[in-house]
Amino acid sequence: MSVKMTKYKHAEFADDDTSIGSVQFTEGISSSATHIRYHTSTSMWHKRSMLEKSLLILVATLLFVIMVLAFLLGAADTRIREATILNGNPKLVPPCLTEDCIRIASNILEAMDTSVDPCEDFYSYACNGWIKANPIPEGKSSWGTFMKLEQENQLVVKHVLEKPIDNLKSKAEQKAKLYYESCLDVNDTIEELGAKPMLELINKIGGWIVTNSSFDISIWKLQKVLQILQNKYNIGALFSYAVGEDDRNSTRHIIQIDQSGLTLPTRENYLNKTEHAKVLAAYLEYMTKVGILLNGEPNATQAHMQDVIDFETQLANITTPNEQRRDEESLYHLMSIAELQELAGFIDWRKFFEDALRIVDKKVTQKENVVVYAPEYLEKLAHLIKEYEETPRGKMILNNYFVWQTIKTFSGCLSKAFRDAYKGLRKVLLGSEGGEEPQWRYCIADTNNVLGFAIGAIFVREVFQGDSKVQAESMVNNVRIAFKSNFKNLNWMDVETRTSAELKADAISDMIGYPEFILHPDQLNERYSILEIRRDAYFENNINLNQYGLRKNLEKINEPVNKTTWSMSPPTVNAYYTPTKNQMVFPAGILQKPFYDAKYPSSLNYGGMGVVVGHELTHGFDDQGREFDKDGNLHQWWNNKTIEKFKERTKCVVDQYNKYKVNGKSINGNQTLGENIADNGGLKAAYHAYLDIAKKQPEQPPLPGLNLSHRQLFFVAFAQVWCSSVTNESANLQIEKDAHSPARIRVLGSLSNLKEFSKEFKCKPGSKMNPKKKCEVW
């Protein structure tokens, strides 16, 4: 599960609560092959007697029969070796030689490296071929099967968006097309305007010393600036707030407040100055370049920007690390606005929220309750702000910080010079400058980010087949049954907790493919009715989208929770679980190969999509998800002794993943605990679901050329979903920031804990993929 309250530039979708070429067979004869030619001579044949002719015919016939038998025996031997071997009982099962089977087998084989011992390094065994054949494209910092599928999805949407606007089925889709074209800058408006849109916005939020030497700090007010940024332009600064389901009463919405305000990806980027010296230098250079593009004097601009970095460093110092924010019950603090005022009185909170709710004609009182997820941070922030407000220079630094938060939010909507300014920092952070891929790809992704349901309507209409949804529902039920069936084997759970866990598993709802409303133009249009989009106004469109997102969020105050809403667009190659809704969602974008294909054998579908289902299902029972009951409410519903035993098992997982290293850096087992639990539990549940359905199906023939049973193919399919390459810089950033372990570790960690894997690949105890000590939670 990710940290709450993450706010994105004009994104329609909040951060998810939890989240995931072919070989050509050529047949020929090598130069060393023996060629036997049969010559016949008409003249010699006529000279033979009838007996000689009969004997010759007989000999020729016998030779032919012998050759056929030899061929059949060889083929039979091949089939035996390729046959599925169940319970040690070889069966003569002919391989599947259909075009689909050959293509599937070819793709799998191309990705593999059979020179690697699967019991020593299964990821390399399954993925080395893929990695060799798929180097990271220019401009990218990583490349994997997820990204390849995303690019295929982008092509589908691009094909439709580039048709005449009258071809689109709804006004919402037409707005998506207009936004896409504004991003492409078809009329060169962005380049012509240059810095002008940002300079106008800076004036609207109160001005900046860098762009206006006569800026008067004496009239500057923190309350006013914060309200403009947060409540008008939806720009996070110092803290973030949103309206979401109350963790302790998931039927109602409530205002939630959390720590926020850093520009760089992690607090360590600021605090570990030795390791991140290059990052801080590149950050200052980026900020200075942007300031100069906004007419700032170079030396003065750099000094002001250094002040901003120093202030953000102090914010980082009072920010609690994510790895220490995994206990949802300890994070939740319900308080009135009056109590919040007493805790952190650096602004008038009632006035602040009155200003926000005025947008949707709603009121707030001192008794209004809010949930604070970071009271210690807000209390320390109040002391920090007080220090800065005591002097004109301190106020100037605060204003510089707020203006910079505005600039970095919208600078990507400006001319190429502004976008190029970021390349140096991106290179240091991710190992790639970016910008090499076609602009249309960035614009499709951007449009999906902000108008995802309109894009979803296009995507679903073009590619999503109804039978995929039905078959996915069946898979979800099968994995759920397998997950629940394992409860009886968990001797660390008491009977009462086990019964409640079964009820929760049964109550987890699933939404597959897309929300129904996107297929109805009137409903889709209604969603975006207040949003104005113009073809030649990319910067203004993004401001409108920020304001639209804020309004939609605030509208939820005092409204009942709709537990069927989606937080991810249909074309997205991902899935998620929401604990307050006890719900998992699988968008249409991921219900495609390599995760799922109706032509795949069940082993591949369950190894791909089945594990994704199991992963999201297990999130309901990871170290955070388990704190929410079947109705999505946060409270203790487990027996105390069972909680203690659960924590003993999760400690094993933390210790295991702490030992893994990438580029010499250790994985953070605490930070990645929830995702690691989900990876392990999801793999196990999906595998047993596959075994259960395999018993009920006719035996599926093996795939040609692989010499692998379908049980083994399940694990290969699972691993190949995660085949990927990543730059060293991007890998290091992932270790510092991401709640997920790197792809390689996700494969190695979960497989090495599963005894069924070692059994199928006959891995000796003590080998790297079959360690004697295994961690098991679910």
Judge residue 243's burial from the number of C-beta atoms within 10 Å of its C-beta, 0-12 exposed, 13-18 middle, 19 or more buried.
buried
Count CB atoms within 10 A of the CB of residue 631.
14
The answer to whether the beta carbons of residues 735 and 662 sit under 8 Å apart is yes
Q: What is the pLDDT of residue 19?
A: 60
Q: How far apart are alpha carbons 291 and 301 in whole angstroms?
A: 6
| Helical residues (DSSP H) of 431-494, grouped into ranges | 439-450, 452-463, 466-485
Measured distance CA(330)–CA(325) in Å, rounded: 8
| DSSP SS3 for 486 | helix
pLDDT value for 470: 87
Pick from 587, 771, 598: which is nearest to 19 by CA? 587
The residues with which 665 forms a beta bridge, in sequence order, are 662
Q: Give the model confidence (pLDDT) of 91-110 as tens digits.
A: 567 888 999 999 999 999 99
Strand partners, 662: 665
Q: Where are the alpha helices (DSSP H) in 296-391?
A: 298-318, 328-331, 337-343, 349-357, 375-389
Residues in the chain: 778
Q: CA-CA-CA-CA torsion for 133, 139, 140, 143, nearest 10 degrees?
A: -20
Q: Write out the two tokens for 716.
A: 């290969």
In this structure, what token pair is assigned to residue 593?
């190969």
Beta 369-372 vs 333-336: how paired, if at all?
antiparallel
What pLDDT, on a 0 to 100 scale, did the predictor assign at position 718?
Answer: 97
Q: What is the pLDDT of residue 605?
A: 95
Determine if residue 474 is left, alpha or beta; phi over 0 gives left, psi from -120 to 50 gives alpha, anything else beta.
Answer: alpha
Q: How large is the average pLDDT for residues 414-429?
A: 94
Tokens of residue 155, six digits: 């092509």
Q: Is residue 137 pLDDT above 70, yes or no?
A: yes
Radius of gyration of the chain (CA): 31
Q: How far apart are CA 522 and CA 530, in angstroms?
A: 14
* Measured distance CA(648)–CA(671) in Å, rounded: 17
Give the pLDDT confidence of 52-97 residue by residue, as tens digits: 334 334 434 443 433 433 333 344 333 334 333 334 444 567 888 9
Of these residues, 307, 368, 675, 679, which one is catalytic? 679
Q: Where are the domains of the chain?
A: 42-100, 221-413
Closest CA to 638 of 765, 758, 500, 508: 500
CA-to-CA dists, residue 394 to 304, 384, 707, 726, angstroms: 11, 10, 70, 41
* pLDDT category of residue 554 using cuts at 50, 70 and 90: very high
Distance CA 570, CA 589 (A): 6
Q: Tell me: the pLDDT tens digits for 442-496?
A: 999 999 999 999 999 999 999 887 778 888 899 999 999 999 999 999 999 999 9
Q: Is 679 among the catalytic positions?
A: yes
Q: Provide the 3-class DSSP secondary structure of residue 85.
A: strand
Give the number of other CB atoms < 10 A from CB of residue 34: 5
What is the pLDDT at residue 432? 86
User: What are the structure tokens assigned to 529, written together?
Assistant: 């009715």
Q: Which of the two residues, 205 and 83, has the higher pLDDT score?
A: 205
Would you call 389 a catalytic residue per the annotation? no
How would you classify the pairing of strands 583-587 and 661-662?
Answer: unpaired
Spatial neighbors of 452 by CB under 8 A, at least 6 apart, are 12, 13, 568, 569, 570, 571, 572
Q: Which helix (H) or strand (E) holds 284?
A: helix 277-293
> Taking residues 359-363, what's their average pLDDT?
92
Sign of the four-CA dihedral 721, 727, 730, 731: positive
- Beta bridge partners of residue 724, listed in sequence order: 144
DSSP secondary structure code for residue 573 in this structure: S
Q: Cis omega before residue 594 (within 30°)?
A: yes
Output the six-digit token pair for 10: 């004009």
Closest alpha carbon to 601 in 686, 483, 699: 699
Q: Which of 12, 247, 328, 616 is catalytic?
A: 616
> What is the b/e burial string over 559-584, where b = at least 16 CB atoms within 10 angstroms of the residue's CB?
eebebeebbbbbbbbbbbbbbbbbbb
pLDDT at 7: 34
Q: Are 252 and 633 in contact (CB under 8 A)?
A: no
pLDDT at residue 256, as a whole number: 97
Q: Is 434 exposed, middle or buried (0-12, 13-18, 19+ CB in 10 A)?
A: middle
Please check whether residue 642 is in contact with residue 505, taking contact to mean a CB–CB distance below 8 angstroms. Answer: no
Which neighbouring-strand residues pair with 584? 510, 577
Using the predicted structure, report yes or no on whether residue 580 has a pLDDT greater than 80: yes
* 204, amino acid identity: K
- Looking at every residue in the chain, the average pLDDT score rounds to 88
User: So what's the pLDDT on residue 475?
Assistant: 94
Q: What tokens were used for 772?
A: 């004697």
Are the CB atoms for 568 and 676 separated by under 8 Å? no
Pick the CATH number of 221-413 from 1.10.1380.10, 3.30.70.370, 3.30.420.40, 1.25.40.10: 1.10.1380.10
**Surface-to-core class of residue 54, CB atoms within 10 Å of its CB (0-12 exposed, 13-18 middle, 19+ buried):** exposed
Q: What is the pLDDT of residues 274-303, one digit of tens each?
A: 999 999 999 999 999 999 999 999 999 999
Looking at the predicted structure, is the pLDDT value of residue 334 above 60? yes
pLDDT at 18: 60
**Res 29 pLDDT > 70:** no
Burial 4-14 (b: 16+ CB within 10 A, else e): bbebbbbbbbb
User: What is the average per-residue pLDDT within 217-223?
Assistant: 95
Other CB atoms within a 10 A radius of the CB of residue 209 amount to 18
How far apart are the C-alpha atoms of 773 and 760, rounded to whole Å?
18
Q: Are strands 724-726 and 142-144 parallel, antiparallel or unpaired?
A: antiparallel
Nearest by Cα to 670 from 682, 687, 654, 685: 654
pLDDT tens track for 221-263: 999 999 999 999 999 999 999 999 999 999 999 999 999 999 9
Looking at the predicted structure, is the pLDDT value of residue 2 above 70? no
Residue 266 has pLDDT above 80, yes or no: yes
> Do the Cβ atoms of 675 and 576 come closer than 8 Å?
no
Give 494's Cβ-side CA count (13 Å radius).
11
Provide the token pair at 682: 């999801």
CB 124 within 8 A of CB 113: yes
Quick one: what percent of the chain has pLDDT higher than 70?
88
Neighbours of 551 (CB within 10 A): 14
